[in-house]
Amino acid sequence: MHSQQEAALADLAAARKELLDALVGLSDADLESPLGPGEWRMRDMLAHISHWNRWGLNRLRYIIRHGEGTEPPSAIDADTVNQRIAEAWALHPMKDVLAEFECCYEDVVTFIRSLPPEWAARTWQYGGEPMTLPRWFGFAASHERDHAAQLRAWRATRQEG
């Protein structure tokens, strides 16, 4: 495996561990609780993470298949997408949300491991910026770390009260 694959996998694994550690010990009721007045429930946050990880994975698959500079435009309204994600997963049992959360992560890891060395070592252009595997998947890792911090802050307020 190429060092860029190893770096991307290590960063993702560390971020996922941080997020899972923030979830340890939470009850089913906690997972259905909002993180604050008018905020997402944890289930919504997990579905949101899965969606954006899958979006990034599918976008990169497209770039690899069709070549850089061929990807469809990404003019998306993230707030609208996030609302639709929460609505789409609202009626699913929590076990399905958690299963998708794990399945998506495994799909990303499997994809990174399966990349041919010549592609894994590449730097390509995305939006006029140089991109590498660690940088591309670093966005997903950072996203998970941000939500882990959000969960830790939520837990701290519950312990104070």
> In the prediction, which pLDDT does 125 show?
87
Model pTM score:
0.91
The string of pLDDT tens digits covering residues 56-107 is 999 999 988 888 877 776 767 889 999 999 999 998 999 999 999 999 999 9
Q: Which of 47-56, 106-115, 122-131, 136-145 shows the lowest mean pLDDT across its residues? A: 122-131
CATH of 3-160 among 3.40.50.2300, 1.20.120.450, 3.40.190.10, 3.40.50.720: 1.20.120.450
Q: How is the chain split into domains, by residue range?
A: 3-160
Q: How confident is the model at residue 133 (pLDDT cuts 50, 70, 90)?
A: very high
131-149: b or e for each residue (b if 16 or more CB lie within 10 Å)? bbbbbbbbebbebbbebbe
